[in-house]
Amino acid sequence: MNGPRPSLDQARADMIEYQLRLRGIADPRVLQAMAEVPREEFVPDWARRYAYADEALPIAHGQTISQPYIVARMTELLAVRPGDRVLEIGTGSGYQAAILAHLGCSVVSYERQAELAAEARERLERLGYGRFVEIRVGDGSLGDPEGAPWPRIIVTAAAPRIPEALREQLDPDGGRLVIPVGPRTHQELMLVVRRGDEWQETSDGPCVFVPLIGEGGFPG
């Protein structure tokens, strides 16, 4: 027998409470963005009912949309201010970019898979985020020197080490980089804060991402 299925609105509210707030996500603006961006629009049709499950979900081309908690945590660590320009590497579904756009950022996002980029572009347009997110197809692992210095950089794929190019492209005046670093199987979520010629690195704990493939990442 099928019991009544909880609505997506209920699932979203539960996600905010149990997956985010109770696990320590405290920034009210991050919680609000996670409550307002419809994650079900970023997953394949068959997965809509699992959109608020406590896990990463497959999208196309062997890639994944990150678990809600990790999206929220990365966003919190990035500490964006409205109006910030953000460089994202790894557009995927476009969900992380939508969260950042919702927080008032203007996002340049790189995706190496052209089809994923096209789908994300169409989706963000349809949801009203098109003006705030520019999606570019290509290897983003060496960043975007023309847009540097970047106040904020977020890498949503795993890198073997922190790419030197990304360090250099961070704004010396408190620029922040959030990036999963480690071998292909498991990584640590790293926060890098630049002040002048000093880069302070802190680990926020373990995580698992699909690999960053490219010059600053893993071989394809």
| Candidate ranges 3-11, 32-40, 135-143, 200-208; the one touching ligand SAH (CB under 6 A) | 135-143
Closest approach of ligand SAH to the CB of residue 3, in Å: 30
Determine if 143 is a binding residue for ligand SAH (CB under 6 A): no
Q: Which is nearer to ligand SAH, 19 or 63 (CB)?
A: 63
For residue 160, how far is the Cα from the chain centroid? 18
CA distance 144 to 150: 9
Phi then psi dihedrals of residue 180, to 5 deg: -80, 130
* Among the listed residues 96, 163, 171, 187, the single contact to ligand SAH using CB under 6 A: 96
CB 180 within 8 A of CB 188: yes
Contact track, ligand SAH, 149-168, x by CB under 6 A: -------xx-----------
Decide if residue 112 touches ligand SAH (CB under 6 A).
Answer: yes
CB contact set of 13 (below 8 Å; sequence gap of 6+): 35
**Residue 182 neighbours by CB under 8 Å, 6+ apart:** 158, 160, 188
The distance of Cα 100 from the centroid of its chain, to the nearest Å, equals: 8
66 is an active site residue: yes
Residues within window 48-87 making contact with ligand SAH, judged by CB under 6 A:
63-66
Q: Which of 143, 136, 68 is nearest to 99 (CA)?
A: 68
15, 43, 116, 189: residue in contact with ligand SAH (rule CB under 6 A): 116
Rule CB under 6 A: is residue 129 a binding residue for ligand SAH?
A: no
Nearer to ligand SAH, 64 or 106 (CB): 64
Query: Which range touches ligand SAH (CB under 6 A), out of 22-30, 137-145, 162-170, 200-208?
Result: 137-145
* Least distance between ligand SAH and beta carbon 197 (Å): 26
Whose CA is closest to 42, among 18, 62, 29, 59? Answer: 59
CA distance 27 to 189: 18
User: 92: number of CA atoms within 13 Å, CB side?
Assistant: 31
Name the segment binding ligand SAH (CB under 6 A); options: 4-12, 18-26, 139-147, 161-169: 139-147
Catalytically active residues, by annotation? 66
- The binding site for ligand SAH (CB under 6 A) comprises 63-66, 89-90, 92-93, 95-96, 110-113, 116, 139-141, 156-157, 210, 212-214, 217
